[in-house]
Amino acid sequence: MNTYQVIDEKNWERAMHCLVFRGSVEPAFCVTFEADITNFRRKVKAQKCLLLTGLMENGKK
């Protein structure tokens, strides 16, 4: 059973946060992690392209 509480947005301390994100099409989140890209960077550099371009091209495969 789900329960919820109606929030009085006029007095809610986080009302501005809600207002900013209310119009978003979908929720967003970020994930961070450590990755060793030494070999990938070496390959991209050998091909004389930018790291970002290498990431985009690699993602198409």
pLDDT of residue 45: 85
Tens digits of residue pLDDT in 14-38 = 888 888 877 777 766 778 999 998 9
DSSP 3-state assignment of 59?
helix
The pLDDT of 33-47, averaged and rounded, is: 88
| Helices (H) then strands (E): counts for the chain | 3, 0
3 domain residue, yes or no: no
Domain count, the chain: 1
Question: Does residue 53 form part of some domain?
Answer: yes
Q: What is the mean pLDDT of residues 34-60?
A: 80
**pLDDT for res 8:** 92
Query: Residue 46 carries which side chain, given as an amino acid letter?
Result: A
Residue 6 maps to a domain: no
Question: What tokens were used for 20?
Answer: 């900013």
- Looking at the chain, the whole-number percentage of residues with pLDDT higher than 90 is 18
C-alpha 9/C-alpha 35 separation (Å) is 42
Q: Across the chain, what does the average pLDDT equal?
A: 81
Within a domain: residue 4? no
Distance of alpha carbon 54 from alpha carbon 48, whole angstroms: 10
